[in-house]
A = this chain, B = another copy of it.
Amino acid sequence: MELHDLMKQLQVKNYSKIVLLVADGLGGLPLQPGGKTELETALTPNLDALATGGTLGLSTPVLPGITPGSGPGHLGLFGYDPLQFQIGRGVLEALGIDFDLGPNDVAIRGNFCTLDAQGIITDRRAGRIASEIGAKLCAKLDQIKIPGVEIFVRPVKEYRLVVVFRAPGLGGDVEDTDPQKTGVPPLAPVGNDAPSKKTAEIAAEFLKQAREVLKNDAPANFFTMRGIDKKPQIPTFEEVYGLRAAAIAVYPMYRGLARLVSMQVLDAGQTIDDQCSRLAQAWNDYDFFFMHYKYTDSTGEDGNFAAKVERIEQLDAAIPNITKLKPDVLIVTGDHSTPSKMKSHSWHPVPVLISAAMCRTDACTSFGEAQCLTGGLGQFPAKYLMSLAMAHAGRLEKFGA
């Protein structure tokens, strides 16, 4: 029996409210062995109070040693095994620009490139054209018509774009046309099964027309396709947990990930204070709130330890705006670690804090990696966070008699 079957079978409704506050890339590393991490360095009186009355632990987003991207990181937090539910790059790129993918959509990540007169790729990124130029070229490509297919072409940033084909019966198993090197022509799209051959045919026709449309737009006189895929078949958050769930996220990627599991995406404003206001407004309309805070990750990616510490302190300052609503369960965690020492996502386990009336409190009195290591939740796969949230909210019946 799978985890989701168990959740579907055991879920009960009540009036409890659950808040999942995700500080992206929260986990860190000390700059020197034996030193303190960003989270341990930050002054976090509010989180420490929650830690004292709650239970701490460390979650493993995918498997030990595996560094997750944002997609797998969040799916794990939402209780979807990231190894079972995989998201193609095209789909992730579409989610990242707030494109609402439907079940008949095939999403493709495109890269503008430069072809010479013989059709050979001379630059795989078209000289990294400015975003405004990319946007204009996308508007031209968006005019291409193919009978029986709706086509959407949207700019992402610089040389990156998203193409979506919408039609019933299209498959998502199509090889990249990007040969991953210069000095050769782009590859033809190849579908690996009958529905995907249909997609490949449409892609070939689209690329033929695109070549014509872009012929005078060097250096961006063509584009390659990568990560061609459909949105995975994924059970909705409501059917798995019976929760009316809302996402309050400033950045489109995280709204997209929430939309992937059919959460309602609310207007989040621009700041954590905006997000807290939105939370208060929506409080009565939902059972579950996913709040996303980006800056712990971006400062980590920048390698700026001090800035990450400051961003954690800003998050801490917002905690009273959440706790004053008296959530039955408040979880504070990250989707992965982003140590500023590494300037990147990492595989290190992620601090988790659960605050709820029925927590088995541990000896922890502050929120940090070392304390989490001694916490009552132990180290556990992130995909179990939601069953723990449901349990602490009194939303799961007993299994078996």
Interface residues of A (CB under 8 A from B): 1, 3, 6, 10, 29-30, 33-35, 37, 52-53, 58, 62-72, 82-84, 86-87, 89, 92, 339, 341-342, 344-349, 358-363, 369-370, 373-374, 376-380, 384, 386-392, 396-401
Q: List 12 A-B contacts (CB under 8 A).
A: A1-B84, A30-B360, A34-B52, A34-B53, A62-B399, A68-B398, A70-B401, A72-B400, A86-B400, A87-B401, A341-B358, A374-B374
B residues near A341, Cβ cutoff 8 Å = 358
Task: Say which residue of B6, B369, B378, B399 sits within 8 Å of A379 (CB atoms).
Answer: B378
How close is A377's CB to chain B, nearest CB, in angstroms? 8
How close is A268's CB to chain B, nearest CB, in angstroms? 22
- Would A71 and B369 be within 8 Å (CB), given that A341-B358, A396-B66 are in contact? no
Q: A29-B360, A67-B399, A87-B401 are in contact. List 16 more A-B contacts (CB 8 A).
A: A10-B66, A30-B361, A34-B52, A65-B390, A66-B391, A66-B396, A70-B400, A71-B401, A72-B400, A82-B399, A92-B400, A345-B398, A346-B391, A347-B388, A349-B376, A363-B370
**Docked pose: A396 CA to B349 CA in angstroms:** 16
| Beta-carbon nearest neighbor of A346 in chain B | B358
Assess the B83–A6 pair: CB atoms within 8 A.
yes
| Beta-carbon nearest neighbor of A84 in chain B | B1
**Docked pose: A400 CA to B35 CA in angstroms:** 31
| Beta-carbon nearest neighbor of A67 in chain B | B398
Assess the B370–A373 pair: CB atoms within 8 A.
no
Task: Say which residue of B67, B377, B379, B398 sits within 8 Å of A69 (CB atoms).
Answer: B398
Assess the A66–B378 pair: CB atoms within 8 A.
no
Task: Say which residue of B6, B83, B361 sits within 8 Å of A66 (CB atoms).
Answer: B6
Assess the B374–A68 pair: CB atoms within 8 A.
no
B residues near A373, Cβ cutoff 8 Å = 362, 374, 376, 378
How close is A349's CB to chain B, nearest CB, in angstroms? 8
Task: Say which residue of B37, B65, B87 sits within 8 Å of A396 (CB atoms).
Answer: B65
| Beta-carbon nearest neighbor of A70 in chain B | B401
How close is A328's CB to chain B, nearest CB, in angstroms? 14
**Docked pose: A66 CA to B86 CA in angstroms:** 26
- Would A400 and B29 be within 8 Å (CB), given that A63-B3, A83-B1, A378-B378 are in contact? no
Assess the B87–A359 pair: CB atoms within 8 A.
no
Assess the B399–A65 pair: CB atoms within 8 A.
no
**Docked pose: A66 CA to B4 CA in angstroms:** 12
